[in-house]
Structure 1
């Protein structure tokens, strides 16, 4: 048998001589090996291989697989790894568009000829010990993108597609004593590339483990464990079926329960009063299986974790162990700093982070993950939608843009694609079927519809009883039976609710929602609220877990995370890959705090004397957590007590607060926090699982009047300037340049320290967020950029007014918008150096709402220490503030611009009462307001931020830029390509707006 490379474009050429898919269990020689976790039946081939890269097949080296072919002068490459991250070829990020679009005019059934990289790999191995009688040896390529052909000692042994499930080949008959040569050739774009158009970086190569597997003469090739839980949950039957190679039998024990016995369907055991598996209590029973040959000798031992649970559509709802489930989920591309090469340790860190953030479900978008993800989800407790390797989004566009008729859609109804889809479905299900964490099988993503997908769904059902998921039915409803749930993407919460008024035949989920691109994730609380008042809406999966971005170094040696186009690739889709709740290095973004808060399992309402707790968990009493109640006065803790709270799952209870408000004027915050009483596998003791805060103001307590000792400031009305000065300050207002040009505070020999670096100006602009770019905000709102940068003070000059409480200097700025608008900036200067600023904007009729409304003031870069009393400590916005606490927080200004891969509006704080910017000695500026404001202090102006394509492109720090504001537009979050911020989080359009705050020097 020889390999025919011309067949790689043939969609029916799915595999050749590849072994049948089987369960992902491991087998060990004896109980000792089982206990150690190290199997003598496995031999890793990971490491350094010899490698040749060719731009296309015509340039690949022929005959490299021959035993006598010398590869000593070839490059070295690490396996697992991506060819593109090893210095060969270039990474390419594309969303919907095919990577070759515009370069090669090809149709499905063809592959690119000019640019279709081929990687030829060679390694040598010797067996750890010779094969015994009847033993067989296989090699498994657990991830080869997108197809792999394999040779051993010059003999062709097989070919496999489907990059995300194993391609395993029996190589026993081609082995020689001693040193053996293993050769593999990976093509980036096989014919399967037409159905592998996921929204991700287009890599290729051997990116998962390559492993030799030794099979003894009697071998457990496949096992299937099922659990049947009684209607009353009082008992369960654990059933095992096996497929053996060789003549023998198995015996099995469910530890803590007993031995399995023969029944009509295999082996079974009944478990009375079973401890049921769920995300809240992911209890796994150990099933130990011994394989015996005809003589009764043990040939291998297998341990399989068994989660006893019942999941399915019951009474029209998705239920786990009889309880309605809400998916607090996230989509997860398998992606980190090494691309899709992820270690078990990295994946375990991801799972721990999900658990700590109150995430209870993950969708493997859009391909099966490495098998250890499912093992970890079993052990830690996450519900999984396991998705097969399918996305034909580009072909979907061929239909919607009129390139081809619906009848020619891929995979659609085309018979030549059916086997490929069924093969991928089988490979995923057979590998993953024993994981209790998997609650649904997904037919793939964004591939429209048709009979092929319908047949995939039927195939899943023929093999397993878990529900089937497919979102594409929403767009192509010809075969609604393809999915057991209604699944949509990025539908607004209001539209979901409206849909469910008349469509109530299936449970509803959002398999993707809250597109977390850049600074976003606004108004997600609306979805969470809906899930707890509309039974048919059973939650959703955030898009997505971590930014897909690549560590790069610029021409100056500075490291940064690159996105589409940064590797010189075209076509590409820019920073659309950077939409995670984590950064590319898997550190949290500020919005993760919002995820944690919205996904928490307790709804908490606080009044002045009690707390009301609704337990949204399904199986856990609130008594499992410590409850700590803290009372703060303007950010300072004045009392803290524990509270015993016991509320059963699904119930509500009220409890008196153990702390009381004092009879002293001030603003108080009750903080109720539920915490882990002891460490778990995923978080330390004291980790907060849920919290709420309520703010109460005490006023009206009679106090003796306080007489002001403040002296009126002195005014010098000069020819070109108006000077206002007091004992510790001077302020200079220019008649020539239209604004406050100097503010000195802290009288010294030179008249005080200058705290301004330029004239403060009214500001209506911020650097567009990724979401705003998605709906073309710069085009629509560009006049507010002009108004912020180029407003001019009226030629009439400032108006000076002496008042009892100070001196007011007022400027009127003409705004260069069409139609023109105006903004007054009035400075009321008090004798102690406090300056009250009032901005009054009168926008031109018909202009869109402002991105923000406030003042832009620059000061010395030494004022980098920010302390504020407001919401935080992390970045927050008006539509993303549920996860922020009122308190006194501090930060370094140089670190307050959140490092999104493309700089944009970020770093602001909501609900700020006062803020202080100081140097190392505590001197600087204090900002305050009688109510609340939004506050931003960054090293750069919005205009500098907007101009930078990456954080390293920002200019050197020369100033601190302060932007107190009445409001900044909410960040939005329904999607990133057209969904604008919800109306209630916008500045009023076409109305006069007034904003007042004050600043003064401090020393």
Structure 2
């Protein structure tokens, strides 16, 4: 039988062929380099069997036909009109039949013509062709000569190209299959996007150039001494002028006094590795990573990770991120007090690690390995436990370690993510320990901690973190493994899932991390919303997520789970996180003194300036510098505050710590931390009702109470002064959040389902009684949802008060069987004229806040438009609540409304109803109506992080109970 076509080269589970051994990555060298990024010729075929076979790789091939077009490299072809991106979280988007993939396999052929510089020497040394990232499998030719193949999308591969190159013009041809055997190892929670998405570089390697080098360092925190040894092939010399080092490679050099590298003090020493053929720049950071007494230490001190999980993503270019974008990420992290990054779930572009070295971030560098889809198959055939995949996994982890081994910021190697257990995990761990014993090993999937150096979990509840902190977790069946694991440090490699409104419960987690030495912090999932721009038919832009590209299998908006919006604007969740993890704790110490605690592990507070501000009723009356003595790491000082004057108004101290001078990552005056506490409590001022009885006009069908006018028939408020109002009723519904729609710790109550099933979004109101009782107008109603006998007996009492106001008292009494229900919110909602588009308030802000997401807001007086009150979550949901408000005013061109708390309330104002917000799937679905809808809330339910994690903690839940609250309304 004649075999015409036999698929399978890209389905080989073994590593690619023809590549050079992996080595340390650097582009800071005096050897010649030629970047081959630019516009390449490109052709997409629907299957791996491309007509003409490999003919396109021939130098004489004509790529000027209509089948070919230009495509930028680096890029993903699906973002340039060749197919579409697809988002899946856990399942594979193709049938699971390892190592085989479907015949319907999009295949991209690339061709690039380039000229070698005239001074490029092809007669000595060698020339290497390097690809930093190709998704998912590639085959490479130069001038028709096959160089080799590669699998492993996010680790580099190098081929010797010397003999294939020629002076003048050269043709580089690359075939890329979207699906390959390697795809089974790359089932990360991200968009599937093929292509050559990182740099392509030609490297001249002169005779005697550096083949590989390994910088070994240590730091003795007791003596302040460091050691340095640089292994290199071939041998050469290590020169670090600042330290007076000029020594042969392979020599252990002791440095008596050296400043160590840490994420807080990222001290680097510039130097060179010099061989006979090359001069390579070095950035040396001295530090020692260890586990001591069951905790992770760097330079002898316990560290606390205030981290994030970072996928590489840009809304225009996907994972083809520029150096400017990488720097933007690092600056945003530093400015928001983040000190650590887990490179989920693959090694990042190597330049990102250069930035982490330079600016100071602890890094968990993660292997390009995840097989989460096998979990749905009970891990049958999972590569972690299948021998045929061993070489591929060792190849991947080796390429990561060798590439990144010289970065001081990398203190932990991670074997991968959500790839189940198996002996191949052990093989990778063993290889790393032999190659680099100076760093620790992480893998969350090793539940027994047989192979790793730390106990790592995801989305553990607060209660379990507390038990883990006391080393009182549930025991393992194996006593020896249990003893080993119980003695290990604990980290949360993923927690507080940052999806939509939230995450809640951040402060409670941080208190546990700071209470228990074993609990060394965590990494928020995740850094940024992964969305692409799309446009409606009428030209309005919105952010697209899973399912918006007609994927057959997708996981919807689960990709929208970042602390940054897709355009890298900080979300309220990031503002909260910055405050929760701030490195200075500023609290009231009593007796007119403030306590300043340095929460840093290594650095003093000498780089900060402290100021105070005293506000009375939200208005600043005093302020200035606050003299704070030297505060070392983990030390506390108390500082006296200025004397207070007597007042009947609420007074509040705000103490702020800002950068004293410009730094690499922030300008002088940048706010690092703050504390706020009462100077004098708000006095209780009893309500002063007027003695004016309601005026009943039966002929007109209205009742007047002070400035308020009501319908006798419905009891509804219809006018306040000259301001028409509409539909003031008890409101217990909110547009469900992503966290409402989640399940607590994957197994608990999905409150969105409970609320929907209980029809809380369809509450009807029955008027039972409308009456005048002395000086009070009383309306008694029953608010209840369809299909059930439960309701809330609600009494509204309206009383005129001084200064042209009306007091509204609301009493809600549960009626029927509510069980253990929690309510989304409890308050009243009212429609106002759309002209009321400006809002001022005295309460917490300027951003939104909920009971468990309120750490990052300050008490003050704020002014915003109704539009600016909204938080534009990619997937519309409840947002924009301002908490613990004393008063709020809505104003427009023709009057307005003032709401005063008795004493406090929360509010939200928007141009669409809650029902419209609930129905929306994208921001463009929200069309302003002819009302501004104001929610005046007694309370709202907390947020939690149940989209992937724990739900709302009990103390932040709004349980059904008899409730009374009141506000004062005044026309303005």
TM-score, length-normalised on structure 2?
0.93
Q: Is the 8 A contact 1:25 1:304 kept in 2?
A: no
Change (3 A) 1:982 1:225: same
1:665 and 1:700 in contact (8 A); partners too:
yes
1:524 aligns with 2:506: yes
Check if 1:986 corresponds to 2:962. no
Match of 1:41?
Answer: 32
Per the alignment, residue 718 of structure 2 pairs with: 742
Conserved in 2, the CA contact under 8 Å of 1:766 and 1:852?
A: yes
Instruction: Give the Cα separation in 1 of the matches to 2:891 and 2:406.
Output: 59
Q: In the alignment, is residue 765 of structure 1 matched against residue 765 of structure 2? A: no
Counterpart in 2 of 1:97?
A: 91
Given that 1:260 and 1:269 are in contact with CA atoms closer than 8 Å, whether structure 2 keeps it comes out as no
| Residue from 200, 203, 212 that aligns with 1:222 | 212
- Cα 1:189–1:653, aligned 2, differ >3 Å: closer, same or farther? same
After TM superposition, list the pairs within 5 Å mapping 1:503-652 onto structure 2: 504-606=486-588, 607=590, 609-652=592-635
Partner of 1:189: 179
> 2:480 — aligned with what?
none
2:808 to 830, 834, 837: 837
Counterpart pick for 1:68 among 60, 71, 84: 60
Q: Distance in 1 between matches of 2:921 and 2:619?
A: 41
What secondary structure is seen at the aligned counterpart in 1 of 2:64?
A: coil
1:207 aligns with 2:197: yes
Q: How far has the Cα of 1:532 moved from its partner?
A: 1.2
Distance 1:437 1:892 in 2: 43
Rounded to whole Å, the distance in 2 between the matches of 1:88 and 1:320 is 48
CA shift, 1:719, in A, is: 5.6
C-alpha distance in structure 1 between counterparts of 2:26 and 2:966, whole Å? 66
After superposition, the Cα gap between the structure-2 partners of 1:842 and 1:719, relative to the gap in structure 1 and judged at 3 Å, is farther
Taking the aligned partners of 1:755 and 1:681, their CA distance within structure 2 comes to 55
- Aligned pairs (5 A) from 1:169-318: 169-230=159-220, 232-244=222-234, 249-262=235-248, 266-292=250-276, 299-318=277-296
Change (3 A) 1:979 1:251: closer
CA RMSD of aligned residues (A): 2.1
| Counterpart secondary structure, 1:853 | strand
Shift, 1:978, TM fit = 6.3
Cα gap change, 1:707 to 1:895, in 2 (>3 Å): closer
**Alignment counterpart, residue 802 of structure 1, candidates 770, 774, 792:** 774
Q: Deviation at 1:793?
A: 2.4
Q: CA deviation at 1:4?
A: 8.5
Of residues 345, 357, 366, the one that matches 2:324 is 345
- Could you tell me whether the CA contact under 8 Å between 1:739 and 1:759 is conserved in 2? no
Q: Is it true that 1:682 corresponds to 2:661 in the alignment? A: no
How much has 1:328 moved relative to structure 2?
0.5
2:942–2:958 contact (8 Å) kept in structure 1 = no
Q: 2:372 aligns with which of 393, 396, 413?
A: 393
- Give, in whole Å, the separation in 1 of the partners of 2:504 and 2:52: 53
- Match of residue 379, structure 1, among 358, 364, 370: 358
Q: State how far apart, in whole Å, the 2-side matches of 1:707 and 1:79 are.
A: 73
Contact 2:705/2:806 (8 A) holds in 1: no
Question: Would you say the 8 A contact 1:836–1:999 is kept in 2?
Answer: yes
The answer to whether 1:117 aligns with 2:106 is: yes
Equivalent in 409, 412, 431 of residue 459 of structure 1:
431
Cα distance, 1:563 vs structure 2:
0.6
Partner of 1:35: none
- 1:349 Cα deviation after fit: 0.8
The answer to whether structure 1 residue 77 and structure 2 residue 71 are counterparts is yes
- SS of alignment partner, residue 210 of structure 2: strand
| Number of residue pairs aligned between Structure 1 and Structure 2 | 938
Shift of the 602–61 alpha-carbon distance from structure 1 to 2, 3 Å rule, reads farther
Aligned to 2:333: 354
Q: Which residue does 1:427 correspond to in 2?
A: 399
| Corresponding residue of 2:829 | 856
CA distance 1:683–1:4, change in 2 (3 Å): farther
Unpaired segments ≥5 residues, structure 2: 474-485, 744-749
Shift in alpha-carbon separation, 1:734–1:52, aligned structure 2, 3 A:
farther
Q: 1:127 aligns with which of 112, 116, 126?
A: 116
- 2:11 corresponds to: 9
Q: Distance in 2 between matches of 1:592 and 1:769?
A: 17
**Separation in structure 2 between the aligned mates of residue 287 and residue 269 of structure 1, nearest angstrom:** 14
1:950 lines up with 2:918 in the alignment:
no
Cα 1:971–1:888 change in 2 (3 A) is same
> Could you tell me whether the CA contact under 8 Å between 1:612 and 1:652 is conserved in 2?
no
Q: Which residue of 2 aligns with 1:661?
A: 644
Alignment of 1:865-944 (within 5 A): 865-920=838-893, 923-944=895-916
Contact 2:705 2:777 in 1 (8 A): no
Q: What CA deviation, in whole Å up to 9, does each residue of 1:849-907 have, x standing for no partner?
A: 11100001111111111111111111111101111100001111112221111100011
Q: Tell me the distance in 1 between the aligned counterparts of 2:758 and 2:649.
A: 38
Q: Which secondary structure does the structure 1 equivalent of 2:430 belong to?
A: helix
* Contact 2:900–2:967 under 8 Å retained in 1: yes
TM-aligned CA deviation for residue 560 of structure 1 = 0.6
Alpha-carbon distance in structure 2 between the residues aligned to 1:76 and 1:21: 31
Greater shift after overlay, 620-629 or 389-398?
A: 620-629
Greater CA deviation, 887-896 or 830-839? 830-839
Q: CA deviation at 1:531?
A: 1.2
Quickly say closer, same or farther: Cα 1:784–1:856, change in 2 above 3 A: farther
Q: Mark the CA change 1:784 to 1:996 in structure 2 (over 3 Å): closer, same or farther.
A: farther
Worse overlay, 636-645 or 359-368: 636-645
| Cα distance in 1 between the residues matched to 2:918 and 2:50 | 44
1:528 Cα offset (Å): 0.8
C-alpha separation in 2, matches of 1:454 and 1:414? 12
SS in 1 for 2:774: strand
Change in Cα spacing, 1:785 to 1:451, as seen in structure 2 (3 Å) is: same
Alignment match of 1:50 (pick from 18, 21, 41): 41
- Is the partner of 1:16 in helix, strand or coil? coil
What TM-score, normalized to structure 1? 0.91
**2: CA distance between counterparts of 1:658 and 1:730?**
46
Distance 2:784 2:964 in 1: 16
Q: Output the CA distance in 2 between the equivalents of 1:825 and 1:784.
A: 22
* Secondary structure, aligned partner of 2:463: helix
SS at match of 1:15: coil
What do residues 33-68 of structure 1 show as CA deviations (whole Å, max 9, x unaligned)? xxxxxxx61111111111111122134552111122
User: Using the alignment, how far apart are the partners of 1:519 and 1:279 within structure 2?
Assistant: 30
Which ranges in structure 1 are unaligned for 5 or more consecutive residues? 30-39, 293-298, 746-751
The 3-state SS of whatever aligns with 2:500 is: coil
Contact 2:612 2:655 in 1 (8 A): yes
Q: 1:18 to 1:707 in 2, by over 3 A?
A: closer
Structure 2 Cα separation of the partners of residues 978 and 613 of structure 1: 33
What is the CA distance between 1:833 and its match in structure 2?
4.0
Contact 2:759 2:785 in 1 (8 A): no
Give the structure 1 partner of residue 477 of structure 2. Answer: none
* Shift of residue 250, structure 1, vs aligned partner: 2.1
User: How far does residue 830 in structure 1 lie from its aligned partner after superposition?
Assistant: 1.3
Superposed displacement of residue 544, structure 1: 0.4
For residues 243 and 7 of structure 2, the distance between their equivalents in structure 1, rounded to whole angstroms, comes to: 54
* Cα distance, 1:27 vs structure 2: 4.8
